A and B are shown apart, each in its own frame.
Chain A
Amino acid sequence: MAEPRFRPGDTVRVMKAYPLGHVRTPFYIRGHTGVIERICGSFPNPEELAQMRDGLPAQPLYRVRFMQKGVWPDYRGNPADVLEIEIYQHWLEPA
């Protein structure tokens, strides 16, 4: 089981990558910067499970918080509005 690389409060950037296969990191968030809200635990990698492999070793999964106004150029709402998404560690880089 991989050791968590990030802790709550860390600033991270989502990789700007567009690989083939089954991916659970939404298109709209790739390349964006957010803050780790919590570590959810470690789970088998869904990208691998989808290919009938076991997805092990389990990978750390984080909830990452993004400012809406940072994600959408035309966002109209409270500037403090946020978007919180679960992202697997291998999609995150320190920012």
Chain B
Amino acid sequence: MIERGHHDMGGLPAGKVKPTEHDYAEWERRVDALSVLMGAKGVTVDERRRHIEALPPEAYDKMSYYERWIVGLTQALIQRGIVTTAELARKMAQVGRRG
């Protein structure tokens, strides 16, 4: 059940490839940029990938690419202590109220 990571999908049956593209939203571009900037500070892509791979399968499948990336980045930063869960909670509540 866990020998194969949910992300490790090479060779599994799947449907037709839909050649979808979308113009990336600003928030998605910022996630990409933040990941690059934090990479320059030593937060490796490998850590971020590990956190993405740890997502529950349903979440992994339902989330969009940059939704997975922001979670991967945030988890990596929490693990490193660059931000804490408590700080994030306060900030998300604050931003949520502000809109």
Contact = CB atoms under 8 A, between A and B. Distances in A.
**So, do A and B actually touch in the complex, CB under 8 Å?**
yes
Contacts, number: 42
B8 A22 contact: no
Interface in B34-48: 44, 46-47
A28 B10 CA distance: 6
B10 A27 contact: yes
Contacts of B53: 22
Please classify how large the interface on chain B is, using the bins under 10, 10 to 19, 20 to 34, 35 or more.
10 to 19
B47 A27 contact: no
Interface in B66-82: 79-80
Given A18-B3, A52-B79, A52-B80, A26 B10 contact: yes
A27 B50 contact: no
Contacts of B15: none
Interface of A: 18, 20-23, 26-29, 46-47, 49-52, 55, 71-72
13 contacts: A18-B4, A21-B50, A26-B11, A27-B4, A27-B10, A47-B46, A49-B44, A49-B47, A50-B44, A50-B49, A51-B47, A51-B50, A55-B46
Interface of B: 2-5, 8, 10-11, 44, 46-47, 49-50, 53, 79-80
